[in-house]
Amino acid sequence: MYTDNVHYGGEMLQINTTEFRRHLFEYLDHIDQSPIELMRHGRAVARIVPIENKTDAAKQRLMALRKTAKIVDIETPLEITWTYDEEHLA
């Protein structure tokens, strides 16, 4: 992003800790696009990932379920005889 201290390791942006300190706010603005892995002496020391928006995540899961759900007849009685156990009635 700014200097040679920035590399892409697959999907993750790898940044030297010194570089990260110098441009902290710019990298935090970038966090939604790609997680950041902080490197010190060539070794990963931390990862910064965006916090998941729970509302958006729930909507995405519902949209995924919508693609697989089946709406069937809910009015016609089932041909199942329901039984009960006297011990488990409240």
Cβ within 8 Å of residue 30, ≥6 positions away: 1, 13, 36
Q: How confident is the model at residue 40 (pLDDT cuts 50, 70, 90)?
A: very high
- Evaluate if residue 42 carries a pLDDT over 80: yes
Tokens of 35: 């997680």
pLDDT above 90: percentage of residues in the chain: 34
- Evaluate if residue 59 carries a pLDDT over 70: yes
When comparing pLDDT for 81 and 24, which is higher? 24
Q: Report the Cα 37 to chain-centroid distance in Å.
A: 17
- Evaluate if residue 29 carries a pLDDT over 60: yes
Give me the domains of the chain, ranges plus CATH numbers. Answer: 1-76 (3.40.1620.10)
Q: How confident is the model at residue 52 (pLDDT cuts 50, 70, 90)?
A: confident
Q: What is the DSSP letter of 87?
A: G
